[in-house]
């Protein structure tokens, strides 16, 4: 076989000296001049094999390059490419400024012909971009300096920073910003959030420790803040992100769904509140966080059916709550510490999600949050099927939502070659709780859904893959098609028309803002 390969005729008629190309093609000679040094990005960026040419010509100027491709492409590179498809809009201009890019090289001839004139007009009319060089249809723009991301790192200092979003992938390039902040001095244990760094979750802060700052997308709706961070105050903003600062009345914050949370029955929680902390576990918690003064608790509750619950603070009167389906807050009157507090469900499925220890609060009683969407997922292996359950309460009003269960080749399957199948159902925007069950036969690709115990219409599509490793997730989109949430369900292996392996994801409870 080796001899046969050598017998293949080699066409050597088009011999070109690579070094001649490197020394003659512009703008790389101009970029190589010392006065023009600095990080650069070349557009169009593909996050794929065509970016290799940028790396090749970069061996002439040796400037730090945003683009790149090899046998391993970091997810952040792909996310950044997706963001830069909109360049030069205000968000992507601010994004590159935060990453301290100096030059943007635009190979206009590589864009579709019908887009070139419009792109050139937008580039030339963007005040932060100054045209400094061009060679043919290759244009170099210098980006106005604004190292806002480095300033944010200085502002956070030795504190903690939460990086995330209220809607899944509202700003995919948040991962790149979090990575850059690590490069610029913030330690990994200082940064947490609900995004990934590479293929791993960024992590969470120690149980009870509130974030000093939060970095979130600068959404048009100023209320579009991740659950649990609504009381933070604006500290800095630009077209890409907002930096929020912790409300000083917040002493401690305990997310009972976080990985580091104690294993509690969230329907029956005993607490002991002190001046600087809350302990969990009934009698054994007494005395922790003691000290004089008064404090208040903001208790976040979730229910997937109308429920009844009792709350008692210290020696005060037991209060019975009618908890609606969805997310609610119960804010206590200020009470002297130390004090014992209990939350106990009487009926339904109400759970205690988080506990915020505060100073200076006034009693607001029970307040519903109808704009939030709670979600709970779980999976199991049935008799010949892979089964999932979704509990959800969609906000009332507006267009209906769409729930989609997707199965892709693991780990890099894309549509359509790596798409096993996709199945969608309607989620009514009626403010009511609904229970969905999904049943997938991984051999025949048959799929059926029930809503509240009754069969419901499913819109399905099946692809070609049948062998290998697969990953199944469930996503929810709003009426405009925007992605609201995406949650993993399970992994499975299929070989020769047999299910050879299955692994379910842990049951998960979360709250999103659709």
What mean pLDDT do residues 309-336 have?
93
Stretch 127-132: mean pLDDT, rounded? 98
Q: Grade residue 284 by pLDDT with cuts at 50, 70 and 90.
A: very low
pLDDT at 287 (0 to 100): 44
Q: Helix (H, G, I), strand (E, B), or coil: what is residue 279? A: strand
pLDDT of residue 19: 66
| Banded pLDDT at 79 (limits 50, 70, 90) | confident
Confidence label for 397 from pLDDT (cuts 50, 70 and 90): confident
The answer to whether 482 touches 401, Cβ cutoff 8 Å, is no
| Per-residue pLDDT band at 25 (split at 50, 70, 90) | confident
pLDDT of residue 419 exceeding 50, the answer is: yes
Question: Residue 391 pLDDT > 80, yes or no?
Answer: yes
Which contiguous run of DSSP H or E holds residue 319? strand 319-323
**pLDDT at site 200:** 82
pLDDT of 429 > 80? The answer is yes
pLDDT tens per residue, range 172-222: 789 999 999 998 899 999 999 998 888 788 989 999 999 999 999 998 777
Question: Which pLDDT belongs to residue 71?
Answer: 77
Task: Yes or no: say if 314 and 336 are a contact pair by the CB < 8 Å rule.
Answer: yes
Between CA 348 and CA 162 the distance in angstroms is 33
* Residue 47 or residue 328, greater confidence: 328
Question: What pLDDT score does 13 carry?
Answer: 62
Per-residue model confidence (pLDDT) at position 199: 77
- How many other CB atoms are there within 10 angstroms of residue 495's CB atom? 12
Residue 285 confidence (pLDDT): 43
* Most confident among 4-18, 55-69, 119-133 (mean pLDDT): 119-133
* pLDDT average, residue stretch 360-365: 77
Q: Which residues pair with 377 in a beta bridge?
A: 390, 508
The yes-or-no verdict on residue 380 having pLDDT over 60 is: yes
Cβ neighbours around 30 below 10 Å, total? 17
pLDDT at 476 over 90: yes
Question: What DSSP character marks residue 87?
Answer: T
Cβ(272)–Cβ(278) under 8 Å? yes
Of 297, 349, 292, 353, nearest to 327 by C-alpha is 353
Structure tokens at 196: 């990934």
Spatial contact of 305 and 433, defined as CB atoms under 8 Å apart:
yes
Percent of the chain with pLDDT over 70: 95
Average pLDDT over residues 63-78: 84
Cβ atoms within 10 Å, residue 59: 10
State the distance between the two ends of the chain, measured CA to CA, in whole angstroms: 59
pLDDT score of 7: 72
Q: Cα-flanking dihedrals φ and ψ of residue 23, to 5°?
A: -90, -5
**369: number of CA atoms within 13 Å, CB side?**
20
Share the mean pLDDT of the chain. Answer: 91
| Alpha carbons 438 and 390: distance in angstroms, whole number | 8
DSSP sequence for 448-480: EEEETTEE---EEEE-S--SEEEEEEEEEE-TT
Instruction: For residue 244, list its beta bridge partners.
Output: 214, 234
Q: How far apart, in whole angstroms, are the C-alpha atoms of residue 59 and residue 452?
A: 61
User: In terms of Cα–Cα distance, which of 176, 242, 166 is closest to 483?
Assistant: 166
As given in the structure block, the two tokens for residue 254 are 């305990």
The whole-angstrom separation of Cα 161 and Cα 73 is 26
The lowest-confidence range among 96-110, 376-390, 475-489 is: 475-489
Question: Does residue 468 surpass a pLDDT of 70?
Answer: yes
The answer to which of 143-152, 221-230, 311-320, 413-422 has the lowest mean pLDDT is 221-230
Average pLDDT (312-319) is 90
Q: Is the pLDDT of residue 313 over 80?
A: yes
Query: What is the rounded CA–CA span in Å between residue 72 and residue 75?
Result: 9
pLDDT exceeds 90 at position 353: yes
H-assigned helices in 130-271: 148-156, 174-183
Ranges 54-63, 195-204, 454-463, 475-484, most confident: 454-463
């Amino acid at each position: 076989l080796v001899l046969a390969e050598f017998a293949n005729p080699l066409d050597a008629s088009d011999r070109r000296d690579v070094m001649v190309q490197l020394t003659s093609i512009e703008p790389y000679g101009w970029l190589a001049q010392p006065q023009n040094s600095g990080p650069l990005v070349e557009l169009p960026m593909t996050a794929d094999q065509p970016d290799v040419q940028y790396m090749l010509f970069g061996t002439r100027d040796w400037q730090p390059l945003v683009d790149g491709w090899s046998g391993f492409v970091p997810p952040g590179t792909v996310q950044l490419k997706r963001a830069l498809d909109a360049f030069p809009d205000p968000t992507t201009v601010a994004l590159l400024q935060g990453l301290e890019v100096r030059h943007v090289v635009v190979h206009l001839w590589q864009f579709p012909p019908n887009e070139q004139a419009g792109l050139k007009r937008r580039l030339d009319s963007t005040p932060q971009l100054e045209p400094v060089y061009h060679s043919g249809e290759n244009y170099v723009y210098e980006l106005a300096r604004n190292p806002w991301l480095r300033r944010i790192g200085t502002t956070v200092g030795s504190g903690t920073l939460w990086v995330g979003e209220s809607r899944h992938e509202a700003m995919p390039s948040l991962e790149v910003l979090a990575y850059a902040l690590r490069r610029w001095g913030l330690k990994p244990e200082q940064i947490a959030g609900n995004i990934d760094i590479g293929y791993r979750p960024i992590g969470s802060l120690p149980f009870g420790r509130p974030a000093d700052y939060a970095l979130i997308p600068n959404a048009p709706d100023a209320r579009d803040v991740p659950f649990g961070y609504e009381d933070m105050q604006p500290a800095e903003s630009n077209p890409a992100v907002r930096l929020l600062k912790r409300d000083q009345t917040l002493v401690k914050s305990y997310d009972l769904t976080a990985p580091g949370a104690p294993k509690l029955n969230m329907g029956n929680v005993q607490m002991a509140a002190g001046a600087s902390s809350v302990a969990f576990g009934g009698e054994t918690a007494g005395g922790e966080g003691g000290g004089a003064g008064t404090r208040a608790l903001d208790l976040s509750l979730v229910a997937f059916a109308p429920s009844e619950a009792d709350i008692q603070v210290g020696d005060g009167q037991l209060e019975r709550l009618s908890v609606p389906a969805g997310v609610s807050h119960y804010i206590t009157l200020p009470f002297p510490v130390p004090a014992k507090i209990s939350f106990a469900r009487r009926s339904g499925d109400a759970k205690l999600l988080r506990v915020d220890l505060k100073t200076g609060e006034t009693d607001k009683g029970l307040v519903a949050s109808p704009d939030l969407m709670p979600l709970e997922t779980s999976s199991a292996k049935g008799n010949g099927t892979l089964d999932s359950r979704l509990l959800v309460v969609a906000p009332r009003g507006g267009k209906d939502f769409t729930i989609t269960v997707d199965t892709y080749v693991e780990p890099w399957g894309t549509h359509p070659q790596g798409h096993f199948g996709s199945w969608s159902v309607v989620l009514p925007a009626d403010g009511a709780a609904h229970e969905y069950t999904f049943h997938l036969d991984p051999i025949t690709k048959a799929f059926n859904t029930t809503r509240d115990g009754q069969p419901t219409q499913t819109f399905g599509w099946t692809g070609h893959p049948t062998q290998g490793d697969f990953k199944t997730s469930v996503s929810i989109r709003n009426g405009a098609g925007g992605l609201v949430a995406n949650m993993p369900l399970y992994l499975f292996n299929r070989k020769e028309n047999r299910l050879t392996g299955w692994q379910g994801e842990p049951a998960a409870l979360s709250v999103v803002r659709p």
